[in-house]
Amino acid sequence: MKYLLVHDENEVAFVFAQLKWAWFLRNWDGPAEHERPPAYIIMVLDKRLNDRADFDAGIAAQTMLLGASALGLGGCIVRTINRYELGKFYQLPEYIEIVLVIAIGKPAQQVVLDATDQKGNMEYWTDETGVHHVPKRSFDELIYKPTSNNDQD
Ligand SMILES: Cc1cc2nc3c(=O)[nH]c(=O)nc-3n(C[C@H](O)[C@H](O)[C@H](O)COP(=O)(O)O)c2cc1C
């Protein structure tokens, strides 16, 4: 995995325009100008070194987000990217594949983790006060309990 660092103002504006934000917020066009991330890390795969590196990408992205939050920053993993335009802009050769973009910035919004509803719906939403709600499955639901042999008798 390699990382393209974006913090120049014009580049940041270009990268922003190549990302699709918050699929479930259908009436929201993405962050307003004053809320936009000031930096991005574009994670790329050098295919001369590796064919695929999906696990590595996830591990690296999560670690960066943890590091950002330890510094009082926030981040967002973005996979819905206009890869064609971004590749053209940075003149990426065919062996460099864009995997993910990680937005980095100062969080402007309060986020609340809620329990999922009865149907297990995980669509996030923003309430009228601007608080962002992210439904999560409960700890209990995350634990897989195999059927014991006794139960099958
Ligand atoms: C692999 C992956 C791809 C994602 N792609 C996008 C994306 O293209 N656009 C976006 O707004 N959010 C995307 N997200 C969602 C955000 O990064 C983030 O997960 C979401 O806002 C909810 O936060 P939470 O899952 O940390 O609670 C993606 C998340 C993951 C894990």
- Which residues, at least 6 apart from 23, have a Cβ–Cβ distance to it below 8 Å? 80
109-153 CATH pick, 2.20.180.10, 3.60.15.10, 1.10.1060.10, 1.25.40.10: 2.20.180.10
Q: How far is the CA of 146 from the centre of ligand 1 (A)?
A: 30
pLDDT at 153 > cutoff 80: no
Q: According to the model, what pLDDT value does residue 86 have?
A: 98
Q: Which of 19, 41, 77, 124 to mutate to test the pocket of ligand 1 (most atoms within 8 A of CB)?
A: 77
Other residues' Cβ atoms within 10 Å of the Cβ of residue 99: 21
Condensed to tens digits (0 to 9), the pLDDT of residues 31-79 reads: 889 999 999 999 999 999 999 999 999 999 999 999 999 999 999 999 9
The answer to whether domain 2-108 has CATH 3.40.190.10 is no
Using CA positions, which residue lies closest to atom 31 of ligand 1? 77
pLDDT at 151 > cutoff 70: no
Using CA positions, which residue lies closest to atom 21 of ligand 1? 76
pTM: 0.88
pLDDT at 125 > cutoff 60: yes
Condensed to tens digits (0 to 9), the pLDDT of residues 63-73 reads: 999 999 999 99
